[in-house]
């Protein structure tokens, strides 16, 4: 394709900012992942709980829905151990504090992390009715969320927790204007402070997540859990051409620290998860990033400022 047209199309996609599959297309992550709390952590989930936040622009005043794909734990998509005996609960929170409570911005389910007002809840075990199907929460009214001045948005939280069992639940979300179809909301976005996800079972596929670097960030500490010595985790940004970070083996955290460069402030970083040439199957991983104060950075489904492109001179590495 003509390169200019291609760039133009990409630009339109970025500007319109339509979401709202979570994970989003740019992330190329097959599923979010949460295990039952009786699972061993060496299957890839460190804490059996995952929180996501949806933000709706303040000028959006219509009802909306949060849809969950494959909410049950059973069937082909989910990760079986013995028999399927896992029950996961999804809880939707709105109201004051659902996002601004400090516990809600943490990476572990500790303290008042279920802050806010519980708007809807539903537990799923193995259930063919919801296997490979969508379940819809809502309708919700945007004003039921927590208003953030900083984002000019109403914020809602959804938590998925594995309350019993030892299997892995794979699922996705979609923020929709419709109860029966996936219809995006213009300028909406989603974010998390910790990302628990399933990698592709294909060595050619590269997954991404995009933390946003706020003003005042001096350094970031990147943590990854149970990477199973799969390939490399590489950081790309406007100022980084591709920096490999320390990776973890089975059931371990690895941490690495990067000094943030001036150009990276108010941009997103691109964490690329590149698989090894030997296939590591069913690889579940958890990732979080903290700044020099220990605050967790937000990973946005639609990277703020777009997918970062290295702006320095490209280093030419001859092929030998």
For Ca ion, the binding residues (CB under 5 A) are 44, 70, 78, 81-82, 85, 166-167, 169-171, 226, 228, 283-284
**H-helix or E-strand spanning residue 16:** helix 3-16
Is the CB of 14 or the CB of 89 nearer to Ca ion? Answer: 89
- Number of helices (H), then strands (E), in the chain: 1, 22
The residues, any chain, with a CB within 8 Å of residue 297's CB and separated by 6 or more, are: 193, 211, 212, 213, 214, 217, 220, 288, 289, 290, 291
| Least CB distance to Ca ion at residue 47 (A) | 14
With H, G, I as helix, E, B as strand and everything else as coil, classify residue 104. helix
| Least CB distance to Ca ion at residue 101 (A) | 28
Q: How far apart are CA 289 and CA 300, in angstroms?
A: 13
With H, G, I as helix, E, B as strand and everything else as coil, classify residue 27. helix
| Least CB distance to Ca ion at residue 170 (A) | 5
In b/e form, how buried is each residue of 83-92, taking b as 16+ CB within 10 angstroms?
ebbbbbbbbb
With H, G, I as helix, E, B as strand and everything else as coil, classify residue 314. coil
Is the CB of 141 or the CB of 182 nearer to Ca ion? Answer: 182
What are the phi and psi torsion angles at 264 (to 5°)?
-85, -15
Is the CB of 101 or the CB of 126 nearer to Ca ion? Answer: 126
| Least CB distance to Ca ion at residue 284 (A) | 5
Is the CB of 103 or the CB of 163 nearer to Ca ion? Answer: 163
Is the CB of 78 or the CB of 146 nearer to Ca ion? Answer: 78
| Least CB distance to Ca ion at residue 127 (A) | 10
What are the phi and psi torsion angles at 267 (to 5°)?
-135, 170
Is the CB of 88 or the CB of 289 nearer to Ca ion? Answer: 88
| Least CB distance to Ca ion at residue 285 (A) | 5
- In the DSSP assignment, the letter for residue 58 is T
Judge contact between 16 and 188, C-beta under 8 A: no
Is the CB of 126 or the CB of 264 nearer to Ca ion? Answer: 126
Q: How far apart are CA 142 and CA 123, in angstroms?
A: 24
| Least CB distance to Ca ion at residue 67 (A) | 13
């Amino acid at each position: 394709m003509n390169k200019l047209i291609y760039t133009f199309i990409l630009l339109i996609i970025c500007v319109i900012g339509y979401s709202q599959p979570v994970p989003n297309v740019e992330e190329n992550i097959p599923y979010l992942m949460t295990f039952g709390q009786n699972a061993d952590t060496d299957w890839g989930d460190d804490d059996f709980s995952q929180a996501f936040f949806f933000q709706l622009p303040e000028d959006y005043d219509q009802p909306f829905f949060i849809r969950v794909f494959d909410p049950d734990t059973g069937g082909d998509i989910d990760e079986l151990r013995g028999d399927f005996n896992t029950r996961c609960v999804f809880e939707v929170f709105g109201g004051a504090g659902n996002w601004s409570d400090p516990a809600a911005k943490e990476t572990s389910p500790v303290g008042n992390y279920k802050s806010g007002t519980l708007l809807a809840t539903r537990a799923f075990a193995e259930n063919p009715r919801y296997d490979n199907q969508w379940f819809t929460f809502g309708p919700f009214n945007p004003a039921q969320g927590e208003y953030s001045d900083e984002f000019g948005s109403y914020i809602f939280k959804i938590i998925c927790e594995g309350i019993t069992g030892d299997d892995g639940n794979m699922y996705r979300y979609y923020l929709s204007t419709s109860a029966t179809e996936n219809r995006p909301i213009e300028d909406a976005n989603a974010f998390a402070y910790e990302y628990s996800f399933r990698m592709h079972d294909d060595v050619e596929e590269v997954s991404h997540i995009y933390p946003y670097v706020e003003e005042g960030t001096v350094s970031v500490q990147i943590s990854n859990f149970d990477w199973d010595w799969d390939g490399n985790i590489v950081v790309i940004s406007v100022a980084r051409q591709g920096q490999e970070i320390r990776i973890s083996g089975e059931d371990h955290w690895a941490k690495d620290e990067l000094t943030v460069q001036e150009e990276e402030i108010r941009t997103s970083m691109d964490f690329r998860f590149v698989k090894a040439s030997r296939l590591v199957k069913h690889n579940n991983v958890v990732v979080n990033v903290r700044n020099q104060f220990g605050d967790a950075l937000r990973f946005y489904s639609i990277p703020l400022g777009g997918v970062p492109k290295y702006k320095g001179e490209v280093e030419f590495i001859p092929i030998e």
